[in-house]
Every structure is written in structure tokens, then in C-alpha cells.
Amino acid sequence: MFKQAFKRYKIKTESPDLQDVIDLDQYEAINFDSGCHNPAIVPEIQISPSLRVPVGLQSPNDWRCYTLANHPGLLVIRNPFTPTGQRYWIARSLRDYPQAPNYVNLDAKHFSVNAVSNWWGELHQSGHKTVDQRLKTAMRWTTLGYHHNWDTKVYDEAKHTTFPSDLSSLCQYFSLVLGYQHFIPQAAIVNYYPIGTTLSGHTDHSELNLAAPLFSLSFGQTAIFLIGGMTLEEQPTALYLRSGDVLVMSEKSRLCYHAVPRVMKTHKKSWNGNSKEMHEDPFNTSMDSELYDQVKDEDFWMPFEGYINDSRININVRQVLPSDVSQIHI
Ligand SMILES: O=C(O)CCC(=O)C(=O)O
């Protein structure tokens, strides 16, 4: 069932049949203000006034949240980011996160040592007017924190680098607002999807802590996301994930099959718009304040726009260890 659905949406035609894909914008959302929520997912939403909204996010009172009746534990927040917030995370994912010592899929057999250690820098060497298309589309993932080993599917204490503090604070904020008190971001996979690329059906089960939620942030072009059941025999649901969406997989949906069979051009570039800043003095945070200012400048932003115009980025954040454990024991 899952594989058939994947093939149906992956099909290389300009106009596939998309009538079954759920467009959350067509439905009324659960608004935190209304006090109306799905008890299976969000046991107690408490937006504590002492919890300062991070720079680049809208107030949680304005977030639109959705759950799916047949996928308990799955939650989508449609619009938590401001346009500048989206630009910031796009720029971090392109310029900074793929740099050594983080791991990337590019290898020194096919690319220069510089490209492997600083892909974005290599792609935009000063003086080069056009980017190397092969190098641009070859980047498919980088890992942060605990680096997932794709072959053995285990995390290894020896393959561990510092998790970016800005991404950690962001995900901790999401988790606190949603009522998960003890989420510790420890590993992330940043997935890069030039239009035409896909991610086939899989479950995320390598983490030692499978009770913790998984946070999945989407930026750029629109994805069709498939969420199924615990086996490939169950019929999946297809929904659109758009730029700025945050998908949370928790409880029953944490170990369900999921995939991205299609990335398609968006009509609405929500990263280009006016940001209403919530903070007059934003920079008492772990974010890179210089970058946050720079992405508002259209000249600085231009190369990032060049990438995101035909690609999607997904930042997938997990807790690896049980909360009372500080490292992987061998
Ligand atoms: O791109 C996405 O939305 C999903 C990524 C994913 O499933 C993964 O990294 O395991």
C-alpha cells in the first residue's frame, strides 16, 4: 500500500492526480488561544508568559495547529515562523550546517576537499558568477550532533559534535509550548531536496529514546509528505508540507513509515515578506545576530534565493538518549 502510494505521487508527469493530498489550509486549525486541542497530542498547552518567544517566530497564539484523526501523535504547526525567521534557518542550513566537522553526503572521491568541508563556500567562490550545478544538486544531507550512520543505522558516541545552540533553543521552545517538558535536541539530519528528488519510505528507529518527539521543519518548495502506519501494508495519508511548517511525530506516529515522494514548485514564497518583529531588542539569544540582520538585505540573500527557488530543505531533529543518560554506552 505504502509503496504504491509513493509511486503514484512520484510519477514523472507535470500533472499527477493530487486530489487526495490533504491541504491543511482548507481546514480550520486548532488555535492555542481557543483552548481547543487534541488531548492525545497536546495534553496541556501552557504558554507561560516567562517563556520568551524566540527571534524569528510568531507568537504561539497566532500559530495554526493541525492533527490528523487517523494518525494520533502527528501534529503540524502551519505558520510559526516570520519571513525573516525562515530566511535565517535557510541560510544556516546552506551556509553553516554543512561545514566540517559536520558530516555531509559529498565525498572526496567525487568532489574537492574544499567542497566536502565547506560546500556553500565552494559553490559561491568569489568571482564565480554561475554556480556548479552538479555540486549544487549533489548535496543531499548533513548531520549535526550525534551523526547518524546510514550503513549501520546506529549512533556512535565517537561520532558526536556540538549540536548548534540556536537550533537546540528553537526546538526546545516548540517542545515546551506543545507540552513536552524534557525534550533535548541531540541529533539532526538536514535534508536537501532539489525539485525532482525524493525520500523513500522508512521509519526512524535508531534513537535510543523513542518516547521523545521528533521535530521536522520544512523550508522552501512544497513537499508531498506520506505518513503511514507501523507496516508498509497500511494505506498512508498524503499531505502538503509548505515552507515554515513544523511537523511533530510523537507517540503512536513516532515509529510510523513516512516518505517524501514529490517536491513541487510553490506559488507562495513565504520567506519573502515583511516580518513583524516581536522583539525590540532581539539579540539576547543563541542565534547569529549578524546573519539575522544580513538575510534582510536582498543582495546578501540573493544566492540563498537562487537555491531555495528550486529546492526544499528539511531539518529533522531528534533526541537520541533517554533523558537521564548523558552518553551512549558501548
Ligand atoms: O523531508 C522530510 O519531510 C522528512 C525527512 C525524514 O523523514 C528523515 O530525515 O528521516
Enter the C-alpha cell of residue 276: 513583524
Indicate the top mutation candidate among 103, 216, 263, 311 to test ligand 1's pocket, ranked by most ligand atoms within 8 A of CB: 216
Indicate the top mutation candidate among 189, 193, 240, 243 to test ligand 1's pocket, ranked by most ligand atoms within 8 A of CB: 189
Q: Confidence band (pLDDT; 50, 70, 90) for 279?
A: low
In the block, which residue shows the cell 559553490?
123
The domain locations on the chain are: 2-95+140-318
> How confident is the model at residue 284, as a pLDDT?
67
> How confident is the model at residue 82, as a pLDDT?
95
Q: What's the CA-to-centroid distance between 219 and ligand 1, angstroms?
A: 12
Q: Which atom of ligand 1 is nearest to the CA of 312?
A: 1
Q: Confidence band (pLDDT; 50, 70, 90) for 194?
A: very high
- Average pLDDT over every residue of 262-267: 94
Percent of the chain with pLDDT over 90: 64
- Average pLDDT over every residue of 91-110: 96
> How confident is the model at residue 195, as a pLDDT?
96
Question: pLDDT of 221-259, one tens digit each?
Answer: 999 999 999 999 999 999 999 999 999 999 899 999 999
pLDDT at 31 over 60: no
Cβ 319 under 6 angstroms from ligand 1: no
Q: Confidence band (pLDDT; 50, 70, 90) for 205?
A: confident
Q: For residues 140 and 119, what is the distance between their CA atoms, to the nearest angstrom?
A: 11
> How confident is the model at residue 308, as a pLDDT?
98
Residue 308 exposed, middle or buried by CB count within 10 Å (0-12, 13-18, 19+): buried
> How confident is the model at residue 93, as a pLDDT?
98
Reported in sequence order, the residue ranges of the chain that DSSP labels E, i.e. its strands, are 30-31, 64-67, 74-77, 103-104, 141-145, 187-194, 199-202, 214-220, 222-227, 237-241, 246-249, 258-264, 311-318
pLDDT at 51 over 80: no
Q: For residues 167 and 97, what is the distance between their CA atoms, to the nearest angstrom?
A: 10
Which fold is adopted by the domain 2-95+140-318? Answer: Jelly Rolls (2.60.120)
Cβ 225 under 6 angstroms from ligand 1: yes
pLDDT at 44 over 80: no
pLDDT at 196 over 60: yes
Cβ 216 under 6 angstroms from ligand 1: yes
Q: Which atom of ligand 1 is nearest to the CA of 316?
A: 9
Cβ 314 under 6 angstroms from ligand 1: yes
Are the CB atoms for 301 and 87 separated by under 8 Å?
Answer: yes
